[in-house]
Structure 1
Amino acid sequence: MLTRFVRIQLAIFAIVGIIGIIAMVLFYIQLPTLLGIGRMTVTLELPATGGLYRFSNVTYRGVQVGKVTAVALTANGAKATLSLGSSPKIPANLQADVLSVSAVGEQYVDLRPRTDSAPYLRDGSVIAMRDTTIPQAVGPMLDQVNALIKSLPKNKIGQLLDETFQAFNGAGYDLGSLSDSTSRISADANDVVDRTRALIEDTGPLLDSQAKTTDSVRTWARSLAGISDVVATDDSRLRTVLQNGPGAADEASRLFEQIKPTLPVLLANLTTIGQIGVTYHPSLEQLLVLLPPAVAIEQTAGPFNHPEGWSKGDFSFTVDDPPICTVGFLPQNMWRSPSDTSDIDTPDGLYCKLPQDSPISVRGARNYPCMGHPGKRAPTVEICNSDKPFMPLAMRQHVLGPSPIDPNLLSQGIPLDDRVTADQRIFGPLEGTPLPPGAVPRGTPPGPRGASPPPGTLGAAAPPAPSSANMSTQANDFPSIAPLDVAPPPAVHRSPAPPRPPAVINGGPSQAHPSSFGTKASQTAPSIAVTPYDPRSGRYVAPDGKLYQQSDLATGSAPKQWQDLFPT
């Protein structure tokens, strides 16, 4: 039978034991961390373990926030599973470093955020290998130092220490300055640690290549010795260069200071030229291929390659075949005299604006190939990059009359052709040169013979007054070209003249006539008739056999300048 005192002791012992077990489970074994209660799991990718082990601490800004619950190997390195508390929130943009607490090798993970803003780490997050670092292994470094010491002869180690003492004796201040400068360089190198690491890693292949080219290095050393001998021989000249060098360096510095505002702009513009070179790479390649044979051809035709001392070549001279293009350029009233050789600014966008299938100026700007769009041709880069094809300004080139209106010239302040009538708004049509007066359009069905065109139509002429005696007299001078359905007007009787070829005017050649010439009017005749025309008086015989006179002829006056030759 237990006494009351013993029962109290047992109860106190049980309570203390339970509290100890709970404390051991919560704080030492860290059962909530193992079970993930109120925790989040984050995976840390590492190139190697770096000495990290299970139950290593995880700190955030120096404060412990979790534990390492597992460390495992992967195909590319290792990974560690971190169990972190839900508070505080840790930014996902961070640097995870595996560090050592002491020289014994106790490792821990330090989370260093790059920003304080979201996103934050959550359950299942992964810290990539590029954002992690591990400590440098000390063992391999000690092994290399040991191998270096063993490579030195034992009898030379004392001499090495003596020479080292003499080298650094009394250089305490210099060594301190060197140490401070090294610390500053190291601090700056920490900002570009990735580049520094890549530089160190890339140095290995370079050193290996130097080891494999030992003979070449020795040859280079001998050549360097020869250069040193030359420098020793020309010591006075070298001293002169060193004396004048600072002045030249100052001049170069001032030059760079002067071009400092514009040099970045120039270099930035050169990138655009580089893009143009990339776009026109096939053309430049073809130019470089064709340029040497072209130069060789020119040299072959030169006088030095012929015994008589004359250049050899063939020349051909063509004039207006095909005609020059005038559509899309300045109007004729703005053409300068050939004797005017002064330099003037011309508007932008001057090129032949006829259709691309026109035989005129086939090698003009409108047929430039678009290098960025194979199969497309356009005069400008804007049209090449657009989804629209090149649109010509006119379908045909005008023979006479004002040029078609070019919106490009109007937008730059170039006035219209002075031959354009502003009141009637008459300008060159986009369809090209119109048909001459009285010409039958292609495809018009033939009409009845002897039918006069209705009044007011294009090509209709006003008949002269019937009382004109001279008209009747001169009417008999014209032969009857077409069969007359109506009797001619009364005329003075003259002796019959022998038949002569039709339409001989001013001693010129006989005019062509249809195959029905001389047949009766009742027979079927073609829809084409030919009649002589007197340009001085304006008289002609119509197909109906009547004599007409053109009454709206211009007064005869010789042109004073070349622009008067064109109709207005």
Structure 2
Amino acid sequence: MRGSILSATALAAVAVLGVGYLSLNVLDIDPRRDHAEITVPLTTSGGLIDTSQVTLRGFAIGRVERIDVERGGLRAVVRVDAAQKIPVDTEVRVSNLSAAGEQFLDFRPHSDTGPYLADGDVVDAADVSVAPSVSDTLAVAEALTREIDTDALGGIVDTVDTATRGRESDIDNVVEVLRLLSVTLADKKDEIRRLYRNLQVLGENAYADALGPRLADAVPELEASGAGLDHLISSYQDYSYVGETVWDGELARLVPKIDEYLSQLSPDLGFIATVLRPVTQPIRPLRVDAGALVTMLEQVFPRGGPARVAVTLPGN
């Protein structure tokens, strides 16, 4: 009888300890601890559910009590440890606890100074951000993959395969060139860094000593030329409107008339050539030696001297 009583007592003690452990550590129920309820407005739940974890800079301080649906959005009521001081100037972010998709609500204060959130306070909606959930990300990825044209992707793969087939040696050469380039850059990194710094200093000195003042002096001139440039553009625009009416109007009627008059006054060149053909027949075989003619002119008019003429007397 005494053994049964001891067994029942031990079983009851284990049960009490188990319930206490579950209440204190798992369910986070501690009758000795004061709690505060804070309302967080949400545009979307972001995957939050009742009992989702609430943290302060990643440290667990409570859980989501409930999510109320209201007109224009949602309101998450969180129950946090009142001993944890949460500044009013804080960001609230709903994020993924892991890749499996468990969401949690995290307070991220911008400072450690007060005032602090108290029981019944409502966080400013502008400070709340909801990260995309795993389900939302997968939905976007699925929509993106549906937009991919598999035929076009297959064509690109076939083109690359055709372009590289039988060119293994060339590809190896390209890889070797890139390797040597990387080795060269790694070996000459100090010289390259020094060259860049020298160019930077040179540019700064040139700008400060010469280029900067000259640009500053040119600013008033450029500003003054703006009005003249605007007037020039507007004048060209006006001239284009006038020229359009002139070319399409008056000149469009004048040019055909001038062509008509010239056609009536100009001689028939084909008839003139036919008439002159018998007269020019005897001189067609003649050829002019341009070289001999130039030589004779150089003898008559030598460079740097007077003209010379040779006269041959009869009998000499």
TM-score in terms of structure 2 length: 0.49
In proportion to residue count, which structure has more helix?
Answer: 2
Larger radius of gyration: 1
Bigger RCO (CA 8 Å, 6+ sep): 2
TM-score in terms of structure 1 length: 0.28
In proportion to residue count, which structure has more strand?
Answer: 2
